[in-house]
Amino acid sequence: MAPSPTLIVIYTPALEACRAFYASLGLDLRGERHGTGPAHYAAVLGDGAVFELYPSSPRRTTGALRLGFTVDPGLAIDGTTLTPGRHLFHDPDGRTVEVHVPPS
């Protein structure tokens, strides 16, 4: 069996802006807090993996990272409906996010 990701955690100084960006891709990000830990957002992806956004701190930062997501045809980002194919965006922290829209 090939490994598959089960958890992706991004630490960001722009928590709310990143939440809005990733929510625009269709991620159902919900607020969470575990015990005395920081408030953050989490979404369960289609394959069961968990995607989380945490506020960064001096000890916890996420550096260069490139992410890719397949989204539903017809998704609109910033008022523009995406056509089938590959689209590149940048999240509020400057990370490249590749969005693949399959043919409908």
- May I ask the CATH class of domain 7-101? alpha beta
Give the pLDDT confidence of 7-38 residue by residue, as tens digits.
999 999 999 999 999 999 999 999 999 999 99
Q: Is residue 5's pLDDT more than 90?
A: no
Give the pLDDT confidence of 56-67 residue by residue, as tens digits.
998 898 888 999
Give the pLDDT confidence of 59-90 residue by residue, as tens digits.
898 888 999 999 988 889 888 899 999 999 99
- Residue in 93, 90, 80, 91 with CA at minimum distance from that of residue 101: 80
Query: pLDDT at position 58, please?
Result: 87
Sequence-distant (6+) residues with CB within 8 A of 94 are none
- Residue in 20, 40, 21, 38 with CA at minimum distance from that of residue 30: 40
CA 79 to each of CA 3, 18, 24, 92: distance values in angstroms, whole numbers, following the listed order: 36, 18, 10, 17
Listed by start position, the domains of the chain span 7-101
The alpha carbon torsion through 89, 93, 96, 99 (nearest 10 deg) reads: -50
